């Protein structure tokens, strides 16, 4: 019998929770050479957490490209500054390799955005939105799923910040890393309940 959780949670309940923080290393990737090293490191892992950030647009006819791609292990998150480095060959190879499972949430949106930057066929991605329902969870946002499972709040204060900034501030880096790591943490926790 699979353990089930509350199907939904209110914003008021979430606001009462302690704020979650990513305690690992955060490494900003600003050159193609750094991307090559990071992808070689990440290729050692069977499972990673994944997310992207795009500079918000405030006009209907404006479409920005992905600014940032976050890829996280349990203790290290790499922030690929795509607005500087584009999509290096090593990163494309990693995203299209089936050797590492990439855990994300609402991946359809990410795939669409990735393909606007570079056409590719992402491989071995796992969407948490299609998984959490097995545990009775009906809410599909990362913040709500995380709060239901762990009783902690993922702050969304940086979501609409400028992801194309010359230098990302500490709060942006922490926010971005947490989102990718949280996907991996949720997956590992739910998988442990199945065994």
| pLDDT, tens digit, 9 for 90 and up, residues 124-151 | 999 999 999 999 999 999 999 999 999 9
Q: Which CATH class is domain 11-188?
A: alpha beta
pLDDT for 30 equals 96
pTM, full prediction: 0.94
User: Is the model's pLDDT at 193 over the cut of 80?
Assistant: yes
Return the half-sphere exposure (C-beta side, CA atoms, 13 A cut-off) of residue 103.
25
pLDDT for 80 equals 98
Average pLDDT over residues 174-188: 97
Can you read off the two tokens belonging to residue 19? Answer: 């704020």
42-86 confidence digits (pLDDT tens): 999 999 999 999 887 766 766 789 999 999 999 999 999 999 999
**How many other C-beta atoms are found inside a 10 Å radius of the C-beta of residue 89?**
11
Beta carbons within 8 Å of 141's beta carbon, 6+ residues apart: none
**SS3 (DSSP) at 146:** helix
Beta carbons within 8 Å of 5's beta carbon, 6+ residues apart: 135, 136, 137, 148, 149
7-35 confidence digits (pLDDT tens): 999 999 999 999 999 999 999 999 999 99
Nearest to 167 by CA among 90, 79, 51: 79
Q: Among 58-62, 137-141, 180-184, 188-192, whose mean pLDDT is lowest?
A: 58-62
CA distances from 147 to 73, 144, 161, 164 (A): 21, 5, 23, 29
Separation between Cα atoms, residue 25 and residue 153, nearest integer Å? 20
**SS3 (DSSP) at 159:** coil
Using the Cα atoms of residue 106, residue 174, residue 171 and residue 163 in order, give the sign of their dihedral.
Answer: negative
160 band by pLDDT with thresholds 50, 70 and 90 = low
User: Is the model's pLDDT at 163 over the cut of 70?
Assistant: yes
């Amino acid at each position: 019998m699979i353990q089930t959780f509350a199907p939904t949670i209110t914003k008021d309940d979430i606001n009462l929770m302690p704020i979650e923080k990513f305690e690992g290393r955060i490494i900003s990737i600003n050159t193609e050479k750094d991307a090559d090293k990071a992808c070689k490191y990440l290729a050692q892992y069977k499972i990673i957490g994944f997310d992207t950030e795009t500079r918000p647009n405030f006009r209907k006819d404006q479409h920005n490209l992905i600014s940032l791609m976050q890829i996280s292990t349990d203790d290290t998150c790499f922030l690929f500054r795509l607005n500087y480095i584009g999509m290096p060959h090593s990163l494309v190879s990693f995203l299209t390799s089936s050797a590492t499972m990439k855990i994300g949430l609402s991946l359809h949106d990410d795939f669409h955005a990735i393909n606007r930057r570079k056409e590719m066929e992402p491989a071995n991605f796992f969407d948490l939105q299609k998984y959490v329902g097995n545990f009775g969870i009906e809410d599909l946002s990362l913040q709500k799923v995380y709060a239901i499972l762990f009783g902690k709040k993922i702050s969304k204060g940086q979501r609409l910040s400028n992801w194309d900034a010359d230098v990302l501030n500490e709060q942006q880096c922490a926010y971005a890393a947490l989102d990718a790591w949280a996907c991996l943490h949720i997956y590992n926790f739910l998988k442990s309940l199945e065994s």
